[in-house]
Chains A and B, each alone.
Chain A
Amino acid sequence: MNQFFSFGRFSLLVAKHWTDNKKRYGLSVLALIGLLIAWFVFLILTDGSRPMEKDVQQMTFFFCLFSLGTFYASQYFRDLGSRPKGINFLLVPASVFEKLLCSLLYTVLLFFAVFVAAFYLVDVLMVAVANTLSGTEATAGKPVVVNVFKIILIRFNKDSTINFLLFFFSVQSAFLLGSVYFEKYSFIKTIISGFVGAFILFCFMYLFNEVLLPPGDYPMGFLTAYRVHVDGINDRLVQVPHWIGEVFRFLAMFAVTPFLWVVTYYRLKEKQV
């Protein structure tokens, strides 16, 4: 028997998790739908002239995605913070990899699928309601259902963009790690740790720029090309090879999330109750 991964065991684990939590999950989805309806109804009632604008729909989508997605991820391994529940979790005859994979299936794949479905269910309904209420106004001015996947790329500076969804999965995986790492208040502690980490990074970058580097700026993308200011005429451009920039970009977009999953795996493996 394979002790690392068995599809049979993994399926059992997925079914067990669903059975143990289906009531909580069902109520949570209903609460999400209720909250979205209440929010959109509030907007329609308070801003009758231009209800359900694209920006509002986009903001609602991403705000809810980030807040609920990170909160759910931060709660997934909360059982490990309680001795009775932690014992129950760790003694289930499945490998650590299967337990991690099950958490990713629920917090990443299923959460995202259910969230998008719930959002559009309410969004389509509320756009129709807003259109009905706006009556005979010109079609061009009427609200339409927004395609959130069209605007997942946002501009970071003039040269690069950030893929908002990949960024979301990175942040969510940090909260999943936080739920293993912190036994209590993992959501808040992960946020605080994130701020502390960001502050340390900021200080490091600041010192790097102000102390180690000569005066200059980044004219062609952050960290890949640096213009050393001399007198405006004899300025020098220091540039790393193009492929290094591409590697940086690739790592920032695609490697952070799997890296945090690997850390979560090892943290879970060494967990004691």
Chain B
Amino acid sequence: MISIQNLSFAYKKKPVFNGLSLEFEAGHVYGLLGKNGTGKSSLLRNIAGLLYPKTGSITVNGLTPKDRHPVFLQDVFMVPEEFHLPDIPIQDFIRYHAPFYPRMNKSKFNDYISVFEVPADSTLQNMSYGQKKKVLISFALATNAKVLLMDEPTNGLDIIGKSQFRKILAEALDENRCIIISTHQVKDLENLIDRITIIDEGKILFDQTVDAITRKLSFRFAYDAQDAATALYSESSLTGKAIVAPNLEDEESKLDLELLYKAIVANGNAITRLFQA
């Protein structure tokens, strides 16, 4: 669905990616993690055709994003971290913006905003940032675009809003759609993401499915001091030492994205070796 080959990209003289290659398939929710300034948003904007690669290529559904052809834009929707919506009533917004998307489902849009508890007869001008974001997310999902790019989608949502977002996103998943979410707030999306891609300094530090991660790694509290010492990563908490360890006993553990991210940043080479074995 999305193929990135040998991508190099730079802001004037500041290089961001150098020879990045990645594939994103339909039917998955990808979590794009990484430190600030590592290029997550730039990657999303390259995929959306808002930024152009210096060298290398990107194809989305067989099309080149840089061309920004209408047929491409109908199938790629981006929810940016900073976004703009016109100061018009929601009903006007849906009436005049929805027809650009051939697979738009207006009744789904109404369902989503009602889950988000946004009154359908309100005006965007009078809404808070969080409410506007709920409208934009509802619109993005209702377009049925094959590629959905979300940059920090839970930023600005309240606690209830985040839970509503998870519910709506889980509902909107289907096998024809590829969703890429760039986020720092990993806890918000832990149960939705099925493939984790960690970018650091323009390179892929880690790229695995959640299934593979939980098969190879165990996320738990250390049994004893020796257990903690042999872990790939450990950190103290009030209830004990949380560790990431090789899953040697085939035990089932719940993926802790935050812990995984810290483990990869602290001990990436050992974890990569474990997955290559």
Q: Which A residues fall within an 8 A CB radius of B? A: 1, 3, 6, 9, 12, 15-16, 19-21, 23, 79, 82-88, 90-96, 98, 269-270, 272-273
- B70, CB-defined interface residue at 8 Å: yes
- Within 8 Å by CB of B84, from A3, A19, A84, A272, lies A84
Q: How far is the CB of B153 from chain A (nearest CB, A)?
A: 15
Chain A residue nearest in CB terms to B69: A3
Asked if residues B97 and A16 are in contact (CB atoms below 8 Å), the reply is yes
Which of the 9-residue segments B23-31, B43-51, B242-250, B269-277 touches chain A?
Answer: B43-51
Whether A93 contacts B74 in the complex (CB less than 8 A), given A20-B88, A273-B51, comes out as yes
Asked if residues B83 and A87 are in contact (CB atoms below 8 Å), the reply is yes
CB contacts (< 8 Å) of B74 on chain A: these are 93
Whether A12 contacts B99 in the complex (CB less than 8 A), given A84-B83, A91-B48, comes out as yes
- B71, CB-defined interface residue at 8 Å: yes
CB contacts (< 8 Å) of A273 on chain B: these are 45, 50-51
Q: How far is the CB of A264 from chain B (nearest CB, A)?
A: 16
21 A-B contacts (beta carbon < 8 Å): A16-B97, A16-B100, A19-B92, A20-B88, A21-B86, A83-B80, A83-B82, A84-B80, A84-B84, A87-B45, A87-B50, A87-B83, A90-B49, A91-B48, A91-B50, A91-B73, A93-B101, A95-B69, A272-B50, A272-B51, A273-B51
Q: Bound state CA distance, A15 and B93, in angstroms?
A: 11
CB contacts (< 8 Å) of A88 on chain B: these are 83-85
- Within 8 Å by CB of B78, from A9, A79, A91, lies A91
- B262, CB-defined interface residue at 8 Å: no
Q: Bound state CA distance, A23 and B125, in angstroms?
A: 12
Q: How far is the CB of A240 from chain B (nearest CB, A)?
A: 44
CB contacts (< 8 Å) of A9 on chain B: these are 70, 100
- Within 8 Å by CB of A95, from B48, B70, B86, lies B70
Asked if residues B100 and A12 are in contact (CB atoms below 8 Å), the reply is yes
Supplied contacts A84-B83, A91-B77, A273-B45, 10 more A-B pairs, CB within 8 Å: A6-B70, A16-B96, A83-B80, A87-B80, A88-B83, A90-B49, A91-B76, A91-B78, A93-B73, A94-B73
Q: Bound state CA distance, A221 and B45, in angstroms?
A: 54
Mostly helix, strand, loop or mixed at chain A's interface? helix
- B87, CB-defined interface residue at 8 Å: yes
Chain B residue nearest in CB terms to A89: B84
Asked if residues B50 and A93 are in contact (CB atoms below 8 Å), the reply is no
Q: How far is the CB of A252 from chain B (nearest CB, A)?
A: 34
Q: Which chain B residues (222-240) contact chain A, with CB distance < 8 Å?
A: none
Asked if residues A3 and B92 are in contact (CB atoms below 8 Å), the reply is no
CB contacts (< 8 Å) of B83 on chain A: these are 84, 87-88
Q: How far is the CB of A132 from chain B (nearest CB, A)?
A: 42
- B219, CB-defined interface residue at 8 Å: no
Q: Bound state CA distance, A269 and B64, in angstroms?
A: 14
Interface readout for B43-69 with A: 1 if CB under 8 Å, 0 if not? 001001111100000000000000111
Asked if residues A3 and B99 are in contact (CB atoms below 8 Å), the reply is no
CB contacts (< 8 Å) of A79 on chain B: these are 84
Q: How far is the CB of B51 from chain A (nearest CB, A)?
A: 5
Q: Bound state CA distance, A93 and B96, in angstroms?
A: 12
Chain B residue nearest in CB terms to A85: B84
The 8 closest A-B pairs by CB, nearest first: A93-B73, A20-B86, A84-B84, A19-B96, A3-B69, A93-B100, A85-B84, A93-B74
Q: Which chain B residues (85-122) contact chain A, with CB distance < 8 Å?
A: 85-88, 92, 95-97, 99-101
Q: How far is the CB of A250 from chain B (nearest CB, A)?
A: 35
Q: How far is the CB of B90 from chain A (nearest CB, A)?
A: 12
Q: How far is the CB of A146 from chain B (nearest CB, A)?
A: 39
Asked if residues A23 and B69 are in contact (CB atoms below 8 Å), the reply is no
